[in-house]
Structure 1
């Protein structure tokens, strides 16, 4: 059943506005024709009864008889006119009702025909995404307002494609170029520390700190490269990938970190139906980032709950962690690059702020999405939704 809200939204569409406009125009035309028809009919009736044919044939004997005959003829003429008026009114009402239905139908047909090019442009524009900006509408036809709109959209897509391409190229080139001096700095530091002379304690401490900072910058560059690659358009046509297997592998790889922080892990990824399809390297890195976020930004003695399931043609991964109550407005920003919560809220000040933004980019590149929620009891809920596929479609991850 259609709700009043849906009907109200539908009534505000351009097609229905055009239908009402054209229908009203057709209906007013019909009303005008009926009014003219009624006026002509009444005038014709009056003209036809201006002279009664019976009066010319009957020759009254006296004046009183003539007056009585005239009265009778006038009464008969009034009855005839009243009957004709009722018939004309009834016919007009029926014609008006039919004209109203015909006007709405004609208005809808005309509106649909007028809006057909716009619907074609809308459908084509929806098929064009950030990963398919090279496609153009290329609407053929006369140089009218619709073609001008399509050409304007094509120009906008061309500028967007150039902008996205330049941005991705800059990020990739800058990340590659910056890795060369980082490698040189790390090699020089290792050579300096490997000299046979005793190294002062302060120098050794400084070297360890520099190595840590270099590793942090290296991870940041790696995140840049992965973010650029995921946004470059990882096709969802790839290898079948099991979310449950990947989560179990990620937890096993981080067993030492989990043990060091005394975390309790609830692994509910026994559902083997949560499969998707795509680039296995990017999908594995996406899940690694989710698990890393749950482990690193967790308090000592905390807990982690992981679950995968298939629901409504979607493969879902849900990772929950405990902790203090978080602000939903700040949590919603974590999917953007370089957005982090403060250390007193997360239990850690490490990280580049790219982890969850990479998760969001990889999920979107595979036709999915990332949902971040602050749990009312405290902590964070991370949910990744991806298109569901069959486990028999490929090899497990």
Structure 2
């Protein structure tokens, strides 16, 4: 039966993490030291192995002429001979003693070499740890500099950058990546500040008007029921505009977070529903809607996509001319579902088209017309959340053309004509 260690001797991952040093410099120093000691041990082992394999059982003597002579006899024993006198003396006992002495001397030298090598390795290990500490500090110095700079950067000095100079190594790539991230954060922060300022301005205008109307009703001692009713109707209209603005802001915020789920949908069905719901408004404005609805299968959030199409149609109707028209098209092109809305209207400068997709941007910046400049920005946010490509260009005679292309549907629920053969030969489509 295998023996199990008590729980107190078992090192949990938490204990292991607590035992490990937290500073990178200490970990690098220990890593350098361990690698050096391991390399030194391997080197000493190889050196001792090579020295131990050197011959230590050969004994050389010199003859009278000074030349070394070592000759084995016919019986396998070792003899020392003198060629000049053609005589030989059996030196087996002497050579054996000499050989044993050489072996003992070799063992003593090996032990001495091992001890001296161990002492040298210990000294060099201490030196290696000190050098590792210094080298690790120099390697981590750029990281400490970057860390200190990043810690000093806040919303007030977001324009600062690391601006690391030097060879194009990993640290330079890291610094450039951080600088790029800071640039994107600065752009997002500036956009957020402009958005908050514009939203505050849009909300302050109706609040000021509401305050003025209420103050007028209270101050005017000769106010009649008709004047009160007129002021209340205007207050109701202002309240509806504020509600639409808040709803648009909430839609913009939710669409910028991304999609929580995707479902199969058809742009043709959604567009038809939006067109039918907007016909009373088009008749009231004296506009004409022309549609070319074709199958356009996509996937995404149907509520957000419906809001996208509705905003495109509302924008096309709101910025139009009396007697103008709106063209709405859905189709499938290169496997992508496409919805396009074009309208007649005032001439749009081509350089201003991209600006219209920013929050609170309108042609002429006229407030109080029921438009808050959020329609196309919501369209772009919903398109980005669906990985869709949005394109827009000004029409030569006035008006705007906006086209949104959704990626192909890849879910197994994609619509297709399905034929099942029954036993009697009939088919169901």
Q: Which TM-score applies when normalising by structure 1?
A: 0.50
More helix, by proportion: 1
Task: Tell me which of the two structures has the higher relative contact order, counting C-alpha pairs closer than 8 angstroms and 6 or more residues apart.
Answer: 1
Structure of larger gyration radius: 2
